[in-house]
Amino acid sequence: MTLLLVVLSAGVYAGALPLYLLFRVSRPALALGAATEATTSLNAQLMRRDSALHQTVRIVHALARAASPRVDSLALARRLLVAGREPLHTPPDALMPPTLRVELTRIDDALSSLGGALAEIVDRLQHGQRADVAARLVAIDRLVEVAQERRIDGNRVARAYLIERQGALRSAASGVRRDTVVWLVSGVALVLALVAVMRRRVWRPLRELEGGLAQVADGDLTVQVPTGGADELGRLAAHFNAMTHVLRDRAEEQGRFAAAGELLAGVAHEVNNPLMAIAAHAENRLADPSLTEEPRSEMAQILRQARRAAKLLGGLLRFVRATEREVTLVNLNDVVRGALDLVSYRFGVDEITVGGRLDPNLPVVEGDAIKLEQVVVNLLANAIDALRRVKPPRQLSVDTWAADASVHVAVGDNGEGVAPEIAPRLFRPFATTKGHRGTGLGLYISRQIAREAGGDLVLVPPPGGGARFSLSLPLAPAAPAPVAAPPAPAVVPAGAAGRADGTPPGGRGPAGATLAGVRVLIVEDEEGVRRPMARFLTRRGAEVEEAVDGVDGLGRLRAQAPDVILVDLRMPRMGGIELYAELEQERPELAARVLFLSGDVSQLAEPGNTPVPRERVLVKPVELAELERRIAAFVQERKASRG
């Protein structure tokens, strides 16, 4: 509005001056021009009449002196009298004062009288009546003098009128010059006033907003700018203050989330160690052939629950510690299963029934599996929150399918659905229907992740009410068929598959060993984890030595070089990363034999740490059978590389 008023003021100021000049100067100028034109026209008529009459007077005097009148002279005199007796034509709308009109009438009368007298004497001369010609010539000369006097008076009045018009024009021009100076001075004052208004209403609020944005860019989310009036900039400042308030709240929440993630990463290591110890003890007990049925069933239940807790903890850790983007070929069914594992504990509590169909022949897509899992977790969490607001039955559906060169994942619920007024801004940042419990970033970030992978996330109207979100990703480009790799070394020998609980056939130990002759050094500070692994690997034929930390491990490595070194990442005095870095410098041949054990692999990606191939990292809690398989494969790969 301020800018509009400024533009209108400038337009009025710029347009008023020409209009003023037009009306102030054009009127006297037009009046002078019209008066000059009328006077010039009348003067031309009078000059023609006067010239014709004067020639007629000379002809009459010549005829009066001649003995007999000449016919041609009389004819010329009559033609001149026609022009001399023509009346004045004064336009009725001609601009002239009444005095000039009176004088013109008197001149016209004088010339008409002279013309009439001349016509009469010409008639007498033509008819040979010369008796009183001399007296009539005297009267004609008197009429000529009268006409001249009338012409002089008329010229004087016309000249005075023109001088008056010129004076009016000159006065108008002088007034215009004066008014123009005043106008320009007022224009300067108006410009200064407009500059002051613009500075107060536009420039200063914009500068304050710019300063606020610069502070936000520098990380200061506490900045507030004055709102001023209720105009556009005032509302913009109010929106800016509301935005910084929301950003500050969200930053505090994100800070708490980040701290919770860091805390979870530390807790994960401490929890994974006892989980692995519990699972390892359970597996070792299940491998005892003398164990009766009831204890065996209890040990199997302990093992299942430990693995379930480990799986949930691993999923949570993977979810909160996702760092750099890693694009691979991903099966969205696996992503959905991992996301369902993370939120499955809420299904029983909230009485939610999960349905849907996962396409068993689903093609793969290219993307970051962890980020895609984050998208599905967000959709599932939103659906669960929506279902908690309605009464049972509560139904949640997850479907996957492929169509139109895309792979789709749809998450739906039979909740209240999305209100029409919320739907247009559902995917905007900080738009939430959960009040203070929601960040307003879940769907926004989820859509960004989908679009970065070349797909999209949309809200589709479900046929039976509720809400349904569809994630679509393009099919991965066709890749050449992989060459069949040689089979991996079997964990359990042929003919001795063993039972599902991990017990070797018949409960035998070294007879079915697959690690016979393999020397293993376990560097682990937790005895509850180290001892079950050592007993299991010994039973599988390995020669096992134990170290309580990195310093102890270095001492044992100086005495004997094992084939495989199992190193925990976090240990007192010297952790696995420090041990690995020292071996890299002093004994690189031993560094190549290190396998890592950790409940939090994010340490390996921290700056300054020696890069370690991910295939050499075993995430706790690792199953003993998996540990055996990885050690056997690792040993075989090293032998193959040396051969």
50-108 pLDDT, tens digit per residue, is: 888 888 888 888 877 776 667 777 788 788 888 777 887 777 767 777 887 788 888 88
Beta bridge partners of 252: none
Among the candidates 175, 203, 231, a domain finishes at 203
Q: What is the band of 507 on the pLDDT scale with cuts at 50, 70, 90?
A: very low
Q: pLDDT band at 320, cuts 50/70/90?
A: low
Work out whether the CA dihedral 269, 273, 278, 283 comes out positive or negative.
positive
pLDDT of 232 > 80? The answer is no
Average pLDDT over residues 191-207: 78
Q: Crossing angle, helix 527-539 and helix 232-286, to 10 degrees? A: 50
Residue 254 is predicted with a pLDDT of 62
Number of neighbouring beta carbons within 10 Å of residue 334:
15
466 plus 534 within the same structural domain: no
> Taking a C-beta distance cutoff of 8 angstroms, is the pair 520, 538 a contact?
no
DSSP string, 117-161: HHHHHHHHHHTT--TTHHHHHHHHHHHHHHHHHHHHHHHHHHHHH
Count Cβ neighbours within 10 Å for each residue of 277-298 and write b for 16 or more, e otherwise. bbbbbbbbbbbeeebeeeebee
Identity of the residue numbered 587: R
Does 563 fall in a domain? Answer: yes
Residue 484 has pLDDT above 70, yes or no: no
Q: What is the pLDDT of residues 510-525, one digit of tens each?
A: 444 578 889 999 998 8
In this prediction, residue 463 carries a pLDDT of 74
Co-location of 459 and 546 in the same domain: no
Q: Is the pLDDT of residue 46 over 60?
A: yes
Confidence at residue 449, expressed as pLDDT on a 0 to 100 scale: 87
Identify whether residues 18 and 108 lie together within a single domain: yes
Residue 486 confidence (pLDDT)? 36
CB atoms within 10 A of CB 310: 23
- Assess whether pLDDT exceeds 70 at residue 350: yes
For residue 57, the SS3 value is helix
pLDDT tens for residues 259-270? 665 666 666 666
Domain presence at residue 315 = no
- Domain ends where: 203, 219, 237? 203
Average pLDDT over residues 525-541: 87
Question: In this prediction, what percent of the chain has a pLDDT beyond 70?
Answer: 82
The domain that holds 456 is classified in CATH as 3.30.565.10
Among the residue ranges 392-396, 409-413, 568-572, 598-602, the one predicted with the least confidence is: 598-602
Question: Higher model confidence: residue 270 or residue 202?
Answer: 202
**Looking at the structure, do residues 441 and 549 belong to the same domain, yes or no?**
no
Residue 540 and residue 581 share a domain? yes
Pair (37, 180) in one structural domain = yes
Picking from 178-182, 385-389, 612-616, which range would have the lowest pLDDT averaged per residue?
612-616
pLDDT, one tens digit per residue, over 427-461 is: 776 556 555 555 556 788 888 888 888 899 998 88
Confidence at residue 265, expressed as pLDDT on a 0 to 100 scale: 62
Residue 438: its pLDDT value, please? Answer: 52
- 278: Cβ contacts below 8 Å, ≥ 6 apart: 302, 306
Identify the pLDDT of residue 317. Answer: 64
Q: Which long-range contacts (CB under 8 A, 24 or more apart) does 119-124 make?
A: 119/78, 119/81, 119/85, 121/60, 122/56, 122/60, 122/63, 122/74, 122/77, 122/78, 122/81
Q: Of residues 424 and 472, which shows the higher confidence score?
A: 472
Residue 122 structural domain: 2-203
- At 628, which CATH number? 3.40.50.2300
Whether residues 469 and 511 fall in one domain: no
Claim to verify: residue 412 and residue 511 sit in the same structural domain: no
Residues 329 and 473: their CA atoms lie apart, in Å, by: 12
Residue 71 lies in a domain: yes
User: Residue 128 above 50 pLDDT?
Assistant: yes
Please tell me the predicted confidence (pLDDT) of residue 364. 93
- 522 and 470: one domain? no
For the segment 181-205, the average pLDDT, to the nearest whole number, is 80
Shared-domain flag, residues 511 and 412: no
State the pLDDT at residue 415.
Answer: 86
pLDDT in the model for residue 493: 30
**470 and 614 part of one domain:** no
Residue where a domain stops, chosen among 179, 203, 227 = 203
Residue 572 located in a structural domain: yes
Token pair belonging to 399: 């479907």
**Angle between helices 332-343 and 369-387 in degrees, nearest 10:** 50
Residue 368 lies in a domain: yes
Can you tell me the mean pLDDT for 533-552? Answer: 89
Show the CA angle centred on residue 128, arms to residues 123 and 133, nearest 5°. Answer: 70
Residue 251 lies in a domain: no
Contact 390, 467 (CB under 8 A): no
**pLDDT confidence band for 5 (50 / 70 / 90):** confident
CA distance 455 to 330: 14
* C-alpha closest to that of 563 among 632, 623, 618: 632
Q: Give the pLDDT score at 448.
A: 87
Both tokens of 129, joined, read 């009546």
Task: Kindly state whether residue 51 falls inside one of the protein's structural domains.
Answer: yes
Residues 65 and 176 in one domain: yes
- What is the per-residue pLDDT for 429? 66
| Domain contains 495 | no
Q: Is the pLDDT of residue 15 over 70?
A: yes
The residue assigned the tokens 């738009």 is 431
Number of domains within the chain: 3
Cβ neighbours around 599 below 10 Å, total: 26
For residues 488 and 494, give the distance between their C-alpha atoms in angstroms, rounded to a whole number: 13
Mean pLDDT estimate for the chain: 78
Instruction: Between 315 and 476, name the one with better pLDDT.
Output: 476
- Average pLDDT score over residue span 373-390: 88
- Cα separation, 18 vs 209, whole angstroms: 40
